[in-house]
Amino acid sequence: MRLQNKIAIITGAGSGIGQGIALAFVKEGAKVVVADWSEEGGKETVDQIRKIKGEAVFIKTDVSKAKDVDEMAKICLDKFGRIDILVNNAGIYRAYNLHEMSEENWDEVINVNLKSVFLGSKRVIPEMLKQSKGKIVNVASIAGLVGFAQSGAYCASKGGMIALTREMVLEYAPQKININCIAPGVIKTAMTKDMLADPATKQFLESSTPYPRLGEPEDIAQAAVYLASDESDFVNGEVLVVDGGWVAK
């Protein structure tokens, strides 16, 4: 198994991409901390993991708050003794024209999507330094590489995540900590459900994706397994685009 006996924290693991990553990690031998602000979603993911004989614990976490992130790491260390992998996946989307977006909406998106990467990484990196090894996988988006209308805060947060990933590599690659990004395209999750329910929007998204389907959480999960495994030890600061060819146009 590619992640045998590894300990992983996955934020936003109560649904969608995060849930897919959690299940894929467990199937590859990892023990998982499911961090999410939804108790219902987090417990559902843990239940699914237990059905496949995996080991997981749910921690209710607001990833935009340092206190919650510190508690998340503490519980992981108390239960499993170390942190080998951090997947910064939690994210939200708010659709507004920039001039109509409130400061509160802007701050909410930036705090959940980008500040959380700072807080999570800041907390786990000292543990990884003790071990002289660690893997951090940041789930960004192609919206950090190309523009999307009515997505100013989201694009800024995901572009910032990519830039922060590359900066952290310069600090921590010498200590054998690998930090990489995944940039998903359009993935069928709760976040995109409303968009895909609109026939015109769905047609646009499908026609903009050269591969003849939209993405599934499992597509991102397999990329995350690779970046979290020993197979990617010489991969650092990369943005692995998993988008069916969207940005190749």
* Domain over 7-184+217-243 is classified CATH 3.40.50.720: yes
Residues 55-87 as b or e (16 or more Cβ within 10 Å = b): ebbbbbbbbbebebbebbbebbeeebeebbbbb
Lowest-confidence segment of 129-133, 190-194, 209-213 by average pLDDT: 190-194
Contact 59, 35 (CB under 8 A): yes
Using 50, 70 and 90 to split pLDDT, how confident is the model at 230?
very high
**pLDDT one-digit tens code per residue, 89-103:** 999 999 999 999 999
Residues taking part in catalysis: 154
Q: Dump pLDDT digits (tens) for 27-68.
A: 999 999 999 999 999 999 999 999 999 999 999 999 999 999
Extract the runs of DSSP E, i.e. beta strands, from the chain. 7-11, 31-36, 56-60, 85-88, 134-139, 177-184, 239-242
| pTM listed for this prediction | 0.96
Please provide the average confidence, as pLDDT, over all residues in the chain.
97
pLDDT of residue 161: 98
